[in-house]
């Protein structure tokens, strides 16, 4: 068992260093965008003024910097001095951002279909040369792969009881009423899946829908349902004899996806509602989109809290 754990630790360390290395070019590219746009050397993205563009990309610079720091904190000695809760939270958000959309990112890179349009949930940017776009995609994919491996090995090492045993071994309750976050998560997921298959209710600008919007709506809807089902299973302790790590990992990914992506897209939605730029629009109704993102963020955070409580209960039994 010790040999197996050591092997996983080594894999996790390689994944963490690889994630930090892969995201570094993205960080440098974003710095060049901000500096270049402020100096008038590079164009700004469609629908943004110079100030808004600088603020947006400064935010992504901060996010990339935090992502690199979190990846290194998972394996470096100084990371042990950081309290587990904020480190796990940052890893949860980063994992939710990248891992659930990893298959889409890989396929879009291979097919060359990434358009950089913020309406599809991708990273906003002006027209990029091929080499720069390739580095951005490599950064996303590399960080996503690293976060798919490094945080689970860290969590397993720091809180082994959360992943040991099976559902129904003891400690889990069996509530007869669905927790509110499960209901909300399933409802939000249902709306996203409805849009993914071509539903038009709640869509204000039908012409703004593209293939990426359909696919990502389906991805986000799928993970919302996964998060709801996994959280419900963890809370109930059913189905019995299922390894406890399965709903914990799926709930972690799904709830992180809901919280991270809606937390990222909500400011875009609010900006478009207030500024109303003539050259940028979202397909969905802005008021409905804002409500959905707020609901997804609240449900995702509540799901994480429920999963953490399951860990505490399980470790005390």
Instruction: Determine the average pLDDT of the residues in 150-160.
Output: 78
What digits encode the pLDDT tens for the residues 1-17?
444 557 777 888 899 99
Secondary structure class of 186 (helix, strand, coil): helix
Identify the pLDDT of residue 2: 45
Task: Examine the pLDDT at 256 and tell me if it is beyond 80.
Answer: yes
User: Across the strands, what pairs with 284?
Assistant: 203
What pLDDT is recorded for position 317?
A: 45
Flag whether pLDDT at 116 surpasses 50: no
Token digits of residue 240: 């019995």
- In this model, does residue 166 exceed pLDDT 80? no
pLDDT of residue 307 exceeding 90: no
> How confident is residue 51, by pLDDT bands cut at 50, 70 and 90?
confident
The pLDDT of residue 291 is 96
Query: pLDDT at position 157, please?
Result: 77
Average pLDDT over residues 299-315: 77
**46-51 mean pLDDT:** 74
Residue 114 above 70 pLDDT?
A: no
Lowest mean pLDDT segment, chosen from 108-122, 163-177, 218-232, 255-269: 108-122
In this structure, what are the phi and psi dihedrals at residue 284, rounded to the nearest 5 degrees? -80, 155
Predicted local distance difference test score (pLDDT) of residue 112:
58
pLDDT at 300: 96
Distance CA 207, CA 226 (A): 30
Residues 121-137: tens digit of each pLDDT:
445 455 567 777 788 88
Least confident of 79-83, 258-262, 310-314: 310-314
HSE (side-chain half, CA atoms, 13 Å) at 260: 24
Average pLDDT, rounded, for the chain: 82
Q: What is the pLDDT of residue 299?
A: 96
**Residue 106 CA, distance from chain mean position:** 16
pLDDT of 306 over the 90 cut: no
Say what percent of the chain tops pLDDT 70.
84
For residues 236-249, average pLDDT = 78
Cα separations in angstroms, 308 against 85, 258, 312:
10, 17, 6
Tell me phi and psi for residue 116, to 5 degrees.
Answer: 65, 20
Residue 290 pLDDT: 95
DSSP-based three-state secondary structure for 199:
coil
Confidence of residue 21 (pLDDT cuts 50, 70, 90): very high
- DSSP secondary structure letter of residue 89: H
User: How far is the C-alpha of 143 from the C-alpha of 141, rounded, in Å?
Assistant: 6
The answer for residues whose C-beta is within 8 angstroms of residue 29's C-beta and 6 or more apart is 132, 135, 136
Q: Which residues, in sequence order, are bridge partners of residue 243?
A: 166
Residues 6+ apart with CB under 8 A from 99: 144, 147, 148, 253, 256, 257
DSSP H or E stretch at residue 219: helix 211-236
Is residue 215 pLDDT above 80, yes or no? yes
| pLDDT at site 42 | 76
pLDDT value for 292 = 96
Phi, psi of 174 (to 5 degrees): -135, 70
Whether the Cβ atoms of residue 165 and residue 310 lie closer than 8 Å to each other = no
For residues 101-112, average pLDDT: 75
Question: Which of these, 147, 146, 182, 149, lies nearest to 307 by C-alpha position?
Answer: 182
pTM: 0.80
């Amino acid at each position: 068992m010790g040999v197996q754990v050591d092997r996983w630790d080594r894999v996790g360390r390689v994944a963490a260093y690889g994630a930090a290395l892969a995201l570094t070019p993205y960080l440098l590219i974003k710095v060049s965008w901000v500096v270049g746009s402020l100096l008038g050397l590079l164009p700004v993205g469609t629908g943004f003024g110079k100030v808004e563009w600088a603020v947006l990309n400064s935010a992504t610079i901060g996010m990339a910097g935090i992502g690199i720091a979190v990846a290194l904190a998972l394996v470096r000695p100084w990371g042990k001095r950081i309290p587990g809760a904020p480190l796990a939270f940052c890893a949860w958000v980063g994992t939710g951002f990248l891992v659930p959309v990893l298959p889409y990112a890989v396929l879009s890179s291979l097919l060359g279909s990434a358009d950089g349009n913020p309406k599809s949930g991708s990273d906003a940017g002006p027209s990029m040369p091929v080499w720069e776009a390739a580095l951005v995609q490599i950064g996303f994919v590399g960080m996503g792969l690293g976060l798919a491996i490094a945080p689970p090995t860290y969590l397993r090492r720091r809180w082994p009881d959360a992943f040991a045993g099976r559902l129904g071994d003891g400690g889990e309750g069996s509530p007869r009423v669905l927790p509110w976050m499960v209901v909300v998560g399933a409802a939000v997921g249902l709306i996203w899946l409805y849009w993914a298959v071509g539903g038009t209710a709640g869509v204000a600008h039908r012409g703004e829908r593209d293939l990426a919007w359909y696919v990502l709506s389906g991805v986000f809807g799928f993970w919302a349902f996964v998060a709801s089902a996994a959280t419900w299973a963890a809370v109930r302790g059913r189905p019995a004899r299922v390894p406890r790590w399965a709903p914990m990992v799926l709930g972690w990914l799904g709830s992180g996806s809901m919280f991270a992506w809606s937390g990222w897209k909500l400011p875009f939605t609010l900006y478009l509602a207030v500024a109303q730029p003539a050259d940028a629009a979202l397909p969905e109704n802005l008021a409905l989109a804002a409500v959905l993102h707020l609901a997804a963020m609240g449900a995702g955070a509540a799901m994480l809290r429920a999963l953490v409580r399951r860990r505490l209960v399980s470790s005390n039994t």
